[in-house]
Structures are given as structure tokens and as C-alpha cells.
Structure 1
């Protein structure tokens, strides 16, 4: 019995050691330098991520060092699952990154065992997405942030037999977190200098159709994106990560 316990402890600590010793290789350096990896980390052109949330990164320098974040991500993906909270495992929290990385490398060679993420899989089933559209709401002079229009994503289920069904699709929106009673002049100034947090949210599309189309009388234009199922799954995984992240909001970005 004691021998069995000892072997289990050794196996556990070996996993921890392996998870902490990922080093850069030419293959990993190439992946870290790729456009897709940097987009998954939401890097700007100056090499700094737009994301403010520290929990979005697994490396202390991950918001500006894509290789460091890649190595930390692989290490985190290889850690044992906590049976008390399996959904907190990095593979489940960062589903977009995990799904993309397993297409780029043989994850088993890095000591990574894929786990079953129930919450993310349920998210995919609930959305049942077979295409994704960009919705453009034309400009609205009643809101400074919408003078030039507004964009959002619509996750299409394919159940488009009538307009009512389309309105039940999920929309992904990005916007500033502004107090309801904010002074308009202060709103403009703070929006210009980046004094608001911002985030992605999900709501039924009918909410936006009602708000933009009916209340504000704005035209809504829909453009379906040419994405295959692999692209759709990647984008849904990325959305899953972004729904829990905060940005610094600027009107002109």
C-alpha cells in the first residue's frame, strides 16, 4: 500500500516538473510568431495585448511576449485535472487556444492529455452554430460611440425558416461598461482617453434588432462570413475566452 502511494506521488510530481520545464524550440518559436496565435492573445500592432484581465494570460509577460505565453500555456495544459473543479482546468478556460494548438502540434508529445470540458461542450451544443454573420448597424447621432455605426457578430443556427427564428440566434457584442446615468460630456471625454472598461457580451439577436432597428431606426446589414466548420469552432472557442476578459475602451479603436 505504501509503495502504491509512493508511486502515485512520484507520478504526480513528475507531471508538475514536466509542466514547468517547457523550453523554446524552432517549432514553438514559429507558432508563437504566427498571426493566429497573436490574434488569439488579442495583440495590437505595437505588440501589446488589448486585454487588461490578468487571468487571461498564463505568463506574467504574456500580454506582450507571445513565446512566453505559449510556453506557459502548454505547461498549463499539461497539468493534472483537479477532480473538485475540472472545469477550471486551463484546457477548459482557454478552449480556443487549445483547439488551435492541437491542430499545430502533436500534443501528446508534450505530455498533454485532452480532457472533457463539459461547460464548453454544452456551450457549443446550445449555440448549434453552422455559420457566423457580421451585423453592421448604421450610424446613430444620438450616441457618440455610434456616430460611424456599430458591429456585432451573429451566431447562426441555420433555423432561418422565418424571421422569428433568426431573432433567437445569439449575438456577440462589444461595448464599454458605462454607468446608466453617465453625463454625456463626461462620457465622450472618458471614451476618447480610454477611461472605460469594455467587454464582450452575448444576448439574443432580437435585443439588438429591437434596440438598433426599432428604437433607433437604424439600418441593419448582415454579411455572412465564408467560414468552414473548423474556423467556426475556433472562433467559438475564442469567443468563449473573451466573454470573461476586460478591455480598455477607446471610441476611436
Structure 2
């Protein structure tokens, strides 16, 4: 086969992480010159192929630095395609020892679920687990985790972290490390559920992928949160493992982890799904069967295991004692998450564990939640008809990502909202067009509090929105807002929340460039037979004396996993104008 034709074979392009450039030609996603052998290798697959062939025949000096050792996947493929039977004999001791240690045989795609309290993990994450032959679930700790992530030196604050992540300000690197380390990080340190999707890749396909990972050792990619991220890079590796897969082309704009899991599943790669609950979910499951008095005992025992000998505790039936002390042990371990080892905590844990061994509880059965990939699609198109103070309008909207409190909750964390890059444009009667709002981000975390766990609920948002102004007009203002408070599970399907809020606003009708405000946000979220209903009250009290309040009701009707109707009613109060009423019916189409 001519080299020009060979250089455009999908597998060679995949090995170089090439994609067609917008203005013609090729560009590689690899942003590290050391990966390429040709000077123009990042933009010229044929030049890189020629340079690779020349390097494979180069005289031996340091064997481990020879091209055959640095590029085992390239070497294998070119040897097969061109029948290269006369290559110099090279012993790649470092590579062979590494491959023998990893001992790749099968592959599992791992999805740690979304975790709002970590900026890098709000959308979830994916990694690959490489299992050895004769794998059993009990030996997963002996497997390796193949991870791609942003390499961060120092400790950037959350705002700088988000900005640099959006702009590609961090280098991304592949890492192969013991799976037990990743399992501890995600299910223990961050209290995230883990989903494990066993793939039907053969041993040969798995080894082909791992060979290429050796080629990417310490090779830098630019890391972008929304597209060239952990999930996108793993799709590239799967295309190496099984040439002919067309996974990455499905994600030209964004690659949200749950969407990439869905693409892998739809490609027919998944043969089995396993679930590992987080430490937090195990604690909540164990404590769910305890009454208020028993939960109080769990708190006391976690603080002082000597109270195991208390007469009131000993008066409980043995099965109830078993449940309580096991809850206390899990609570103590949860409280120690992420903390340096403390000898007193270790002693308390040992005392509780000894008591549990003498009186073990029933095996813990954690109900498996809905599969994350079965949730709605990430991008949302909106078409609405509405009326505001007698003025009819049509509204057109687009949200790039990916979920709010009223959306279909299947596959999403309870009380979680992550909206990125949303825009709504209105067309009023008389063909008058107006930008209604532009949200850069709108994030909310409403995690219920209970006797054992007391998480803080919080929210943050920023962008442009219309607010009441002088003479009945609505002014487009810029804002940055946030809040913190608590949420409570009022019943199985009813969540209540209350937060204090703060807001900084740029409003042309205010005297100052930026005007601060404090306020409140409270409401309920009800999961009913039709979908989700929310009722919210808000108030902002500005330093200049302006007071703005609102009451909003929204009910979503779920017509399918990716189609819904939403009825919204809103009443606003402002010192600028009389109370304003608005009602709207919106069609929402969730589409990647």
C-alpha cells in the first residue's frame, strides 16, 4: 500500500489523534512536540509516518529509547501493514516489564457519578479499569486505572479553576495507577457512587489500547472541561482498541461524561454493569430503618463508643443494637473522610468494630439508583408561548448543559442543578425581539439534612437577565449571585429548602456601577405523577433601597425521556413598578 494512502488509514490517524482541520489538512489533539518524530508531525500524518518508518530502522544505541520501544502500537501496526520482517532486533526491557506488571486482559469503563461540591467533578468523570486474566470482582484492587485528567500545580481557587478549565489553561495527562487508589478517591474521599461497565473488548484489543497508552506517557494535551476532557480522550482510546468505532465524531462541541457512557453503550460495547455505592449512600441506607431515638444513639456511640455499655442502649433488642452500632461505625468513618489519621478516631472505630463483630447486623442491601446514562440528553432546545402583563410573546431558548431542578430526575442526583450557557430570546407582538436572559452558569446543590448528616445547600449563578425597571420597562442587567442554607426531606417525594442570598448587579438605572444586595430564596420541590413541581419565593434588598421580590411556580409534564412540557407562572414585586404577572407554556426538547 502506498505510504500516502497508508497515512490516511483511520487507525494511523487514531494513533496520532488527528482530526480534519476546519480549513483543510489535519491537526492533532496532542499538544506536545515530544510525541512527534517529524517536525510537522502535528499537522502532517504522512510526514509522521515516514519519520516513524525511518526511526524503526535506526541503529541501536539506548534500546529503551529506540522508536520500537517508544512506539509499540505504531511498530506493531506498521509491521503488520508493510510486512516489516527486517527490523532491527530490539529488547525493550522497560516497556516489557511495565506491560507484564499491568498484565492487560479486559476493560471496564468506570463512571464516578456527578459530585457538585467539586468543580472538576460536577458532570461526573470516566476512567478505564484494566483487569488481568482470571479477574474476579474481589480482586479489583489488583487492577489498574487508566485516567486522563487536568494536571494542576498549586491550589487555584474555584473561579480561576473554572476559567482555566474552560480556556484550556491546564495540561491534560494520561496516568495508569492502581485501581484501589482511584476507588478510594471517588467512593470514599468524594462520596460518589461508582458505575462499572464491563466492555466486550478482547484481550488483544485491550492490549492494543494499553500499548498506545505507553506511547502517551508524559505526553501533554490541552485540557478543556466541555469537549477535550477525560471522557473524550477515553473514547479515542476505545477507537484504538477496536478500529472502526465512531465514537468521538458524535461529540463535536461537548463531551459530557454521561453522554459518552451512553455512546459506548449504544455502540454495543457494554456486556455487564456493576454498581458500587458511596460511603454516604451506605450510611443513609443503614440509618433509614432507625427511628429518631436510635439515630440519636448512633450519634452518641460515634462520639463515645464507651456508651455501648449504657443500660439504656443495652435495653434495645439485639437486632436493633446491631443496626445502631453499625450506623455509628459508618458515621464515624464518614466523618473521618479526607482527614489525616487520628489515633482517637481509630480507637473509637476499633471499639465499634469489635462490638459489631460480636453482634453483626443483617447484610446491607443498597437499592441501585437509576442508570446515569438513561437520563435525558444534555442540550435543551426550548419553544414557549407566554403573556406578560397582557403582552403576548414567543420565546426561543437553548441550554448547552445540562439539568435543572424541574427536569426529568431519572439518572441525576437529587436536588442537583447544573446549567451552563443558556440563552432565551423573546419575540413580542409587533415583531419586537428582545434578549430575555443569558446565563453563563446556574448551579444549585440541595442536599437534604437529617439527624446524622448536616450538609450545606448552596447556589451560584451569573449572567444577564431582565428585571423590572422604570416606567414598566424591563431592564437587561448583569449579575453575579449566590446563596447558602439548608434543605430538608419533608416526605419521600417532597424537598424543602431555605437560603440566605447575596447579589451584585450592574443596572444602568442604578447610580453605582455595581450595586450589592442581600436576600432570601426558599421553596419546595415536589416529585409528582406528572413530573417535578417547584414553588419558590425570592427577595433581594439592595443597598440603594430597591426591593425586588418574586413568587414562581413551575410544573413539568414528562412526555418522554427527552421531551417535556413546562407550565410556569410568576409574579414579581418591585418599587419601580406595580406587581407584574407572567404565565408561560414551554416545550422542551432534550437533544445532544
**Does TM, scored on the shorter chain, surpass 0.5?**
yes
Which residue is 1:229 aligned to? 203
Instruction: Kindly state the Cα deviation for residue 129 of structure 1 after the two structures are TM-superposed.
Output: 1.7
Which residue is 2:111 aligned to? 136
Which residue is 2:4 aligned to? 29
Instruction: Kindly state the Cα deviation for residue 177 of structure 1 after the two structures are TM-superposed.
Output: 0.9
1:191 matched to 2:165? The reply is yes
Which residue is 1:61 aligned to? 40
Q: 79, 92, 108: which is aligned to 1:102? A: 79
- Structure 1 spans left out of the alignment, 5+ residues: 1-25
**1:37-52 matched pairs, under 5 angstroms:** 37-46=12-21, 47-52=26-31
1:122 matched to 2:101? The reply is no
Q: Is the 8 A contact 2:105 2:204 kept in 1?
A: no
Q: Which has the larger radius of gyration?
A: 2
Compare the two structures and name the one with the higher strand fraction.
2
Q: Is the 8 A contact 1:136 1:152 kept in 2?
A: yes
Q: 124, 143, 146: which is aligned to 1:149? A: 124
Q: Name segments (4+ residues, structure 1) moved above 4 Å.
A: none
Higher relative contact order (CA 8 A, sep 6+): 1
What is the DSSP-based 3-state SS (H/G/I as helix, E as strand, rest coil) of the residue aligned with 1:124? helix
CA separation in 1, counterparts of 2:31 and 2:89?
Answer: 28
Cα RMSD for the two superposed structures? 1.6
CA separation in 1, counterparts of 2:20 and 2:148?
Answer: 20
Q: Is the 8 A contact 1:156 1:166 kept in 2?
A: yes
Instruction: Kindly state the Cα deviation for residue 157 of structure 1 after the two structures are TM-superposed.
Output: 1.1
Instruction: Kindly state the Cα deviation for residue 224 of structure 1 after the two structures are TM-superposed.
Output: 2.1
Q: 148, 156, 167: which is aligned to 1:182? A: 156
1:81 matched to 2:60? The reply is yes
What is the DSSP-based 3-state SS (H/G/I as helix, E as strand, rest coil) of the residue aligned with 2:60? coil
CA separation in 2, counterparts of 1:159 and 1:180?
Answer: 41
TM-superposition CA deviations, 1:66-98 (whole Å, max 9, x none): 11100110011011111xx21110110111111
Instruction: Kindly state the Cα deviation for residue 162 of structure 1 after the two structures are TM-superposed.
Output: 5.0
TM-score calculated relative to the size of structure 1: 0.83
What is the DSSP-based 3-state SS (H/G/I as helix, E as strand, rest coil) of the residue aligned with 2:2? helix
Structure 1 229/105 Cα, relative in aligned 2: closer, same or farther at 3 Å? farther
TM-score calculated relative to the size of structure 2: 0.36
Structure 1 252/45 Cα, relative in aligned 2: closer, same or farther at 3 Å? farther
CA separation in 2, counterparts of 1:208 and 1:230?
Answer: 25
